[in-house]
Amino acid sequence: MDFLEKALDFIMTKQVFGTAMVILVTFILIYLINKGIEKILIKGKNDFEVKRRKTIIRLFQSVFKYILIAIAILVILDFYGVDTKSLIASLGIAGVVLGLALQDTVKDLISGTMLIMENYLAVGDTVTYEDFSGEVIELGLRTTKIKASSGEVMVIANRNIDTIINSSQKKAHLYIDVPTAYEEKIEKVEKVLAEVVSKAIIDKVILADSSYLGISSFGVSAINYQLDIHCGQNERSSVKREMLKRVKMAYDKEGVKMPYNQLEVHHGKDL
């Protein structure tokens, strides 16, 4: 019994029980704040706004998490008799020294905050940095990560992002050439293609701005008719595949021919 009583007394001390409660409360607060921030900020008017808000949410969640963890550490140290007021003052002086020693890190933090708050970038944007193109998969206070379609990931210190091309803040013009046999009537082809565009209900396509443009060129065995489809930068490939599928289905339905290479062979004695 004496052992159990001593163990219980030890557990109920503020150093043990207090520390456990502070850790538990800290994790609960982090969870509740994260959920609250998401609930308040997640809704947006469009895809870009949603992506931007998700990026800001991650920033706020990180800031609040580290603030709560820092407060929890100070409270726990106070349980063990550490003079936290003197410690905070010492940390202030040390912070000035570290700030001078870690100027690049400070620049990264400032640049990262500016990138997020001023809408330069958002997670999910398609960007080009120097000769590297890809999707922003992580936008932190210190670094930005860009993933290429090949799977390579570039990590850039935020202080070095002085020039970057963001292709996602505006819709892309997706120009699609449709090769069609010369013998087909132009009026019929144009009617079929215009109807395909008007019925192209695909996610990320702005129907009001998409259109059939007209004849783009005369090929060796086909006339190329051109479509202009407005869609998000990240959806160009999927939208193109879907539009080509619909054009082919419409051509088959209306009996419009698409030319293909043919090889005519002559025997020498018949020439």
Q: What is the CATH number of the domain that holds 230?
A: 3.30.70.100
Examine residue 199 and state whether it is found in any structural domain, yes or no: yes
Q: Give pLDDT, residue 225.
A: 93
- How many structural domains comprise the chain? 3
Final residue of a domain: which of 101, 130, 146? 101
Task: Say yes or no: 70 and 25 in one domain.
Answer: yes
Task: Say yes or no: 144 and 208 in one domain.
Answer: no
The predicted model gives 170-199 an average pLDDT of 87
How does 8-37 read in b/e, with b if 16+ C-beta sit within 10 Å?
eeeeeeeeeebbeebeeebeeebeebbeeb
Task: Say yes or no: 9 and 94 in one domain.
Answer: yes
Task: Say yes or no: 37 and 87 in one domain.
Answer: yes
Examine residue 112 and state whether it is found in any structural domain, yes or no: no
Nearest Cα residue to 246 out of 199, 211, 190: 199
Task: Rounding to the nearest 10 degrees, give the CA dihedral for residues 251, 255, 256, 262.
Answer: 110
User: Which range is least confidently modeled, 109-113, 230-234, 238-242, 255-259?
Assistant: 109-113
* Residue 268: CA count within 13 A, CB half-sphere: 0
CATH code where residue 141 lies: 2.30.30.60
Examine residue 229 and state whether it is found in any structural domain, yes or no: yes
Domain range enclosing 40: 2-101
Percentage of residues in the chain with pLDDT exceeding 90?
10
Examine residue 270 and state whether it is found in any structural domain, yes or no: no
Q: Is the pLDDT of residue 100 over 80?
A: no
Tell me the pLDDT band of 252, cut-offs 50, 70 and 90. very high
Using a 10 angstrom Cβ sphere, with 0-12 exposed, 13-18 middle and 19 or more buried, the burial of residue 247 is: buried
CATH code where residue 79 lies: 1.10.287
Examine residue 109 and state whether it is found in any structural domain, yes or no: no
Q: Give pLDDT, residue 177.
A: 92
- Cα dihedral across residues 53, 55, 56, 61: positive or negative: positive
Task: Say yes or no: 11 and 96 in one domain.
Answer: yes
The predicted model gives 236-253 an average pLDDT of 88
The model carries a pTM of 0.45
Q: Is the pLDDT of residue 212 over 60?
A: yes
Q: What are phi and psi of 59, to 5 degrees?
A: -65, -50
Task: Say yes or no: 192 and 228 in one domain.
Answer: yes
Examine residue 189 and state whether it is found in any structural domain, yes or no: yes
Q: Is the pLDDT of residue 119 over 90?
A: no
Q: Give pLDDT, residue 89.
A: 65
- Alpha-carbon distance of 260 to 249, in angstroms, equals 17
